[in-house]
Structure 1
C-alpha cells in the first residue's frame, strides 16, 4: 500500500510541468543536450519527420508529448540520433539524458491508470467466426463457408482482429441472419439418414467443351475422356455432364476414378515445359453449378485431393473419401500438366508432315471449323506428350459414421428432440455459443420466441431452430466476452483460445473455467503448452505469420506469367507460404531463438520450391527441413513469401522492401509520405537505375529524412527478383545490382549477408518488434504508450530465457495486458 502511494506521488510530481522545469538535471543536462544536438533538425526553423523539440513540454498526460519523449529515448538508445554524419556525443554526455528520460517515463507509466489500453468490445472476424461455427457444431467446413457473403474485415497495422476496426453494420447483420439460416439447416438433421446411392459414369463423361484436343479425343470415340493440360480459367476441367446438379445431400462420399497416365517423358520439352522427373498427378476439384459453368474455372472451386500416378499407360483406380456439399460435383484435373498447349505449334514443329498449311483466311467459317476438327484429331492421334485418360468415375454416398451426425447431437444429444424441454436445449447450446454461463434473462426472450412458433403450428424441432438462429445472431455470440479489470476464467479461456486457435475454447478449458482454476499460473502455463501442441494451433501459425509478415498480400498483385513462368508451373503461391509456416512452426515447437528469423542455416522446402532456390536433391511435394549452404537464403529475408509479398508482380522496389523491414523486423515504421510528394515509380525502361532515381528523390529535404532510413535496407534485398529468385542484374543490357550501402546509423554493408550480420546485432530491437506484434495480435488491440513497461518486461524476460519463440508466446499470454481489460 505504501509503495503504491509512493509511486503515485512520484508520478504526479514527475508529470507536472512546473516540477520538471525546476529539476536541475532536466534544465542543465537534458534541455541543454537537446538544444545543442537536436534543435538544428527539430527546432523552430526545421522540423524533420514533423518533430519539434524546442517547444516540447513535459505534460506526459498528452499522448503526443509522451510518444515524442519515448521516441527520443528510443532513437538515442538505438544510436540513430544524432545522425551519423553529424558530430557524435560522447557516451558520458548522452547517458544522463537517456537515464533521466527513462526514469521519468517509467515513473509516469507506473502512476498512470490509463482508460486506454483496453480492448474495445471485439467482434469475431471472418476467420474466427468460421472456426467457431466448426467447433461449436462439429460441421465440416471443407467447402462450406458461411462468411462467403460477409464484407472483408477492416485491418489496422496489418491485423484483422483489432476490436475498434471490427465494426458492425446493417449489411453485416443481414448477412449474419442469412448465415444462421444456412448453419442451422446443415446442423439440424432430424429423421432417417439419406439413402446411400452409387452414381457411375463412363465415356463420354464430359460431352462438350474442353478446349481443342479434349473434344478431338472425344470425337475419336476411343472409350475414354482425355485431359491434356492443367486447369486455367477456361480449360482443363473434366466435368460430369450427366451430374450437373451435383450430390443431393451434404456429407462424405467415396469418389473413385479409373484413369491412366501417359508419356511423362516426351519429345516436346521446349513446347510444353513440363517437369519430366515429377510424377504426373490426378486432381479432384469440386464445384457447384450454382456458381458457374462446371467445365471451366468456377468461383466455388476447391481442391479436395491429388494422387501421384504411374505413367505406364495402365488403368488404375484412385479412390478417396471426400466431403461434398449439396449441389457440388467432383471434377477431374491434371494439376501439373502443361500450362499451355498449342496444337498448331505441336504439329508445325514436331510433325510438320501432318500440318495442313492451308491459308485459313480464304476459308469460310464452316470450312475453317472442319479444318480445325481434322487437324486436332490428327494432333491427338499422333500426340506423344503427357495426358491423363479417364475411363470411369464413381460417386458413392452420403456415408455417415453415425446418425444423427455430430452436428445434430451437439445440440439435441441422442434423445428424441420432441421429448426434451426447449429450455434445456437452448441453455446448453447458448452456454457453449456464448462461451460462458448464460443468465436466465438471456434465454427467456429466446424461449418465448420458440414457444410462440410452436403454438403457431411449428414442430418442436422447427421451433427450436428459430431459437438456435437467434443465439447465433446474438451479440453474446458475435462478440468476445471480456469483463472489466482482471479477466475471469471464462473470459480468459476465450481470449486464450482465440489467440492460439482462432476459435472457441474446448471442453477442457471450459471445465477449468468452471472450477475457477484457469487463472492459476501453473494451470495457465500447462494449458498454453497443451494448446500449442493441438492441431488447431495451426491457426496461430498461419494467421499470425500472415498478418505479421503481410503474407496475406500474396496474390493481390500476381507475378507476370510471361516473365515468371516457374511461379505458376511449380504452384509456388501455395508453396512459398507453406515454407514460412513450417519454418515458424519448427522454431515454435523447438522453442528456438527468434534470431533464426533474422538468419538461419535451414529452411523447409519441397521439390517445387527447390527449383526456385536452385537447391538440388529435394524430391516430392512434401515439405522437409533442409540445410542451407548458401548464407544469402537463410532467415525470413530469404523467404520467397516475404519477397513476393513486397513486390508488385513485375519489378521490385527498394522502398517497399525497406519499409517492410522497418515495420516488421526493426519495429520503427517511417511516417507516411507527405501528400504533396509524387510517388516514385520504378524505371522499367532501363534509362536510369533505381538507385539513381532514389538518390534524386532524397534531394527533397522532406523526403530525405525517411528515405535515408528506408533505401539502404531495400538495396540489401535487391538481388531477389519479384518472386524471390536470386539475380545478379536487372536483365540483359541492364546494370548489375549493387546491394551495398550505409544505414542511417553509419553501419556499412557490402551485400545481404553483411546486412543480416548488422540485424543480428540488433536482436533486442527485433525482439521488441516481435513482442509488440504478437501482443497486438493476442489482445486484439493496438498498443499504447502505457503498454511500454510491460513490453519492456517481456523483452527483458525473453532475453534472460534465451529468446525462445515458445517462451515469447508464454510471456505474452501471461502478461498484464493479456490478462486484463
Structure 2
C-alpha cells in the first residue's frame, strides 16, 4: 500500500495525468492555432508574447500567469483584434473554462505538499480552546479578552485550518507572547483575594421630589396644570416605578429603562467578574408574569454585554437581588455605564388627550392663521384669529384636569398594574468565583504563597507538559522549562509566582504547544515517505478535527495504552466525540466556514425597502444555519437534507419571517414544514439569501456562483475584468432581475458562461433580498405590488434537467446527489486533513462517496470513513 501511495504521489493515475493534455489538444490547441499563433509565434511574438510555447503543463515557470493573460484578453474581446475573424463563443468559452480549471488545480497542488499533511500551527479557535481546556481558563476570559489578543488566521480552500495559510511571522509571535502573558497573569495568583472596589448608587437623587404640576407654554404665556399620576414616585427610601421614564428597548418584549446609566469607568479598569446587587421588590399585578431586571453594560461599544435576572421579592418587602457579570474595561476613555431596565408595561400612563385636542392643537392652527393674516394684511382675519387666541388662553387658564392619567384600559385598575420599587444599587469588583481560581489550583494547588520551592515548580511542570505538548515528554524538556523558572528567581529577583508565570509563558510559546507536530521518528526511513501516526498523534488529529481542541483524558488514556488505533475503539471514540457537547465546535468551525455563516449580516438591506429586516432577524439567521447542521449531525441525517428537507431548525422570529405558525420563543427547535411554506434545506435561509444579495435586489449570478463553488466544489471560470453586475431597475423599465440579466449577457462570450451558471441562481428568485417568499419582483423601484412583474424561475441545469419552479429545481439537484456527495466529501476531507484535496486523493474520495451511498448518505458514516482513511491515519 505504501508503494502505491508513493507512486500516486509521484505521478497521478494515467487517466488523471492525460486528462489535461487531452482537453488541451482537443479544445484549446486548435483554437490557438486558428486565432492566436499567427501573431504570437516565433516569427512575430507581438508585444513580446509567445502563445505557441504555452502547453498543458502549468508547473512550468510563468505559465499560469501567461495563461491568465490569455483568457483575460479573450474574455474582454480585444483578442483576436477586431479586424480578425471573431471566434465562436462556445469555442472561446471552452478555452476559458479549461484554463480556469487548470489554474485552480495548479494552485491547489502547490499547497498539497505531495499529498502529505504539513506541520501546522493551531489556528485561533484551536489555540483558545486548548488553553481553556489545558488550564481551566474562564470561558468569558477565553472568548473575549483572549480572542482579541490572539492573531487572526489566513484561509485556504475556504478554511482557517489549512496548513498553507497558517504561517507564523514576527508580528504574530509578538501577539502570542502578549497572549501568553495575559494567560499567565490569569492562571497564577499570589496572596489573598484582592479586596473588591465598590460603587453605591441611590436609585435616584433623594433630594428630588415628585412634581406636582406640569408647566406648559401656550401662545407665549405659561400655565401650570396638575401633574396627576406619575410614571415614578419618590419615596423616603427609594423610587416606585410604574412605567419607564427613559424609553423602551424594542424587541420581542419591552424593556423599560429605570436607570439611564450607573457610571463604571472608575470601577471597571480590568476585565473580570463584577457583582451587581440591587435592593428592590416588585408586584406582578394582574399580568402574572414575573418581574425581571436587565443589566446592560457599555451599550453600543465593542465590550457591550447584558444579563437578565428575575426579582423574587415582593413590593412591600424589598430585599437584595444579586448577580455576577463579566465586564470588560475596553479602550481608555471609552464611556462605560450600566443601564438597568425592567419588563414593565409600555403604555400604562399617558398624557391628557383633552389638553391636546381642545387647547394645544387648535393653538398651533391659530398661530399659523395669525402669521398668515399679518403677511396678507387681512385685518378682519387677524381680528378673528386674535379672538380665537384669547378664547384658548382663557380655556387653558381654567384647565384643571390632571396632565397625566392612567390609560383607558388601566383606569380604575391601578392596583393591577405591575410595579417595581428600587432602593440601592451596588456594583463591586473585580471578584473571583473561587480563590484561588480553578486554573491556579490545577497547576499549583490551593497554596498562593510567594515563597515556594523549585521541587514544587518541577512537580507542576511535569504535570503540565504532557498535556500541553499532547504526548509523553522527556526529562530534558521539563528541565528546560524549570531552568526558566530558576533563572527568574536567581537572576531576576522574581518571587515564585512571577517566575512560574515566566515558565508558563515559555510553554505556551513553544513550538511543541503552538504546532500540531508529527515528526518523523529517527528510526523511520525517510525514503518511505509515509508512516502511520502513533496513538498520541492520532488522538490530537482526531480531537482537533471534531472538537477544535486538545484530546481529553479518555483519548490520552487510550493513547497511553496503545488502543486508540484499534479500528473498533476508534469508531466508538468518534461516536462518543460526536455525541459530546464539544462537537459544537466542529459545527461552528466546519459548517460556519463552509456555509460562510461568519459573513451573515455583512450585507445590510435597505431599511425602507425591507422594513421587516431587524437585528433579531439577523442574529437568528446566523444561528439557523449552524442549528440546522447540528441537527443533521446529532440525528445522523442524510447530507441531502442540505439540498432539501422536510424540516427547519428555527425560532419564533424566523418562523414569523417564513410564515410558519405555532413556533413561540427564542429557542431553536426542529419544526416540520409543508410544501406551501416553500422552505427546506439551506436554500431560502434568510442569512444566506441576504448575504448573496446587495441590500437592494437579488443577485442571481452571485447566488449561482456560491452554489457551484460551495455545494458542488466547481467554481466558475474567472470572469472578464470588466464583467460588472446586473444594472439596477430604473423607473419606467419595470424589468425583473432575470430580464436585466438577459441584457447583461448579450455578449456571446458572456452568454456561454452564464448559460452554465445562471440556472442555479435564477431558480432562487422567489426568495427576495432578505429571503422572504415572493411571486412578484419587489425591492428597488417596484413600489406598487399590483404593477410588479411576475417572476419566471424556470431553467435548465447544465446536465439538461429542466425545472419550472423551486420545487422542481430541488428535485433536479437531488437527481444529481452523487455530484453533491463528492463535493461535500472533498470539503470535509480538506477540513480534516488540513490541506487541499487533489489528484492523490481520488481513491479516498471515491471511497468516501461509496460510504455515503451505502449508508443512505448519512453524515456520520462519512465522518467515520474519513477517520478510518489512510490519509487521516498516516503522515
Q: Structure 1 length as normaliser, TM-score?
A: 0.75
Q: Which residue is equivalent to 1:74?
A: none
Q: Which residue is equivalent to 2:513?
A: 477
Q: Which residue is equivalent to 1:368?
A: none
Q: What is the SS of the residue equivalent to 1:552?
A: helix
CA distance in 2, matches of 1:337, 1:116: 67
Distance 1:9 1:490, change over 3 A: closer
Q: What is the SS of the residue equivalent to 1:192?
A: coil
Cα offset, 1:124, TM superposition: 2.0
Please say if 1:433 is aligned against 2:468.
yes
Q: Which residue is equivalent to 1:410?
A: 442
Q: Within 5 A, what are the aligned runs for 1:271-310?
A: 284=294, 287=297, 294=298, 296-305=299-308
Q: Which residue is equivalent to 2:459?
A: 424
Q: Which residue is equivalent to 1:229?
A: 248
Equivalent pair of 2:267/2:429 in contact (CA under 8 Å) = no
Cα offset, 1:194, TM superposition: 4.7
CA distance in 1, matches of 2:196, 2:2: 75
Cα offset, 1:641, TM superposition: 2.6
Cα offset, 1:474, TM superposition: 2.0
Q: Which residue is equivalent to 1:639?
A: 685
Q: Which residue is equivalent to 2:859?
A: 805
Equivalent pair of 2:601/2:687 in contact (CA under 8 Å) = no
CA distance in 2, matches of 1:580, 1:207: 53
Equivalent pair of 2:280/2:320 in contact (CA under 8 Å) = yes
Cα offset, 1:173, TM superposition: 1.9
Equivalent pair of 1:116/1:784 in contact (CA under 8 Å) = no
Cα offset, 1:454, TM superposition: 0.4
Cα deviations by residue, 1:554-597 (Å, 9 ceiling, x for unpaired): 1212233333333326x112212222222222221221111111
Cα offset, 1:516, TM superposition: 2.3
Q: Which residue is equivalent to 1:391?
A: 422
CA distance in 1, matches of 2:652, 2:194: 43
Distance 1:554 1:736, change over 3 A: same
Distance 1:35 1:59, change over 3 A: closer
Equivalent pair of 2:292/2:309 in contact (CA under 8 Å) = yes
CA distance in 1, matches of 2:594, 2:305: 27
CA distance in 1, matches of 2:548, 2:465: 19
Q: What is the SS of the residue equivalent to 1:638?
A: coil
Corresponding residue to 1:587 among 632, 646, 649 = 632
Point out the structure with max Rg over C-alpha: 2
Distance 1:6 1:159, change over 3 A: closer
CA distance in 1, matches of 2:726, 2:319: 57
Gaps of 5+ in 2: 38-51, 68-87, 92-111, 209-229, 330-335, 371-401, 411-416, 521-530, 779-783
Distance 1:5 1:430, change over 3 A: closer
CA distance in 1, matches of 2:605, 2:316: 38
CA distance in 2, matches of 1:790, 1:253: 55
Cα offset, 1:506, TM superposition: 1.2
Q: What is the SS of the residue equivalent to 2:671?
A: strand
Cα deviations by residue, 1:2-21 (Å, 9 ceiling, x for unpaired): 9959988997994899xx8x
Cα offset, 1:325, TM superposition: 4.5
Please say if 1:782 is aligned against 2:782.
no
CA distance in 2, matches of 1:478, 1:199: 42
Q: What is the SS of the residue equivalent to 1:502?
A: coil
Q: Which residue is equivalent to 1:671?
A: 717
Distance 1:488 1:717, change over 3 A: same
CA distance in 2, matches of 1:127, 1:117: 25
Please say if 1:510 is aligned against 2:556.
yes
CA distance in 1, matches of 2:205, 2:503: 45
Q: What is the SS of the residue equivalent to 1:146?
A: helix
Q: Which residue is equivalent to 1:123?
A: 121
Q: What is the SS of the residue equivalent to 1:625?
A: strand
Equivalent pair of 2:123/2:153 in contact (CA under 8 Å) = yes
Cα offset, 1:243, TM superposition: 4.4
Equivalent pair of 1:285/1:332 in contact (CA under 8 Å) = yes
Q: Which residue is equivalent to 1:241?
A: 262
Distance 1:42 1:432, change over 3 A: farther
Gaps of 5+ in 1: 21-25, 48-53, 69-82, 87-113, 209-215, 266-277, 288-293, 363-376
Please say if 1:563 is aligned against 2:563.
no
Cα deviations by residue, 1:347-388 (Å, 9 ceiling, x for unpaired): 9999656867769999xxxxxxxxxxxxxx978987999999
Q: What is the SS of the residue equivalent to 1:644?
A: helix
Equivalent pair of 1:226/1:388 in contact (CA under 8 Å) = no
Equivalent pair of 2:282/2:291 in contact (CA under 8 Å) = no
Q: Which residue is equivalent to 1:451?
A: 486
Equivalent pair of 1:119/1:779 in contact (CA under 8 Å) = yes
Cα offset, 1:717, TM superposition: 0.7
CA distance in 1, matches of 2:426, 2:591: 40
Q: Which range moves more in the overlay, 244-253 or 185-194?
A: 244-253
CA distance in 1, matches of 2:271, 2:11: 67
Distance 1:39 1:516, change over 3 A: same
Cα offset, 1:492, TM superposition: 1.7
Q: Within 5 A, what are the aligned runs for 1:368-379?
A: none
Please say if 1:721 is aligned against 2:743.
no
Cα deviations by residue, 1:731-767 (Å, 9 ceiling, x for unpaired): 3233222111222232211111110000110111111
Cα offset, 1:530, TM superposition: 0.9
Cα offset, 1:698, TM superposition: 2.2
Q: Which residue is equivalent to 1:250?
A: 272
Equivalent pair of 2:485/2:503 in contact (CA under 8 Å) = yes
Q: Which range moves more in the overlay, 238-247 or 327-336?
A: 327-336
- How many residues were matched structurally? 717
CA distance in 2, matches of 1:817, 1:41: 40
CA distance in 2, matches of 1:434, 1:2: 29
Please say if 1:753 is aligned against 2:807.
yes
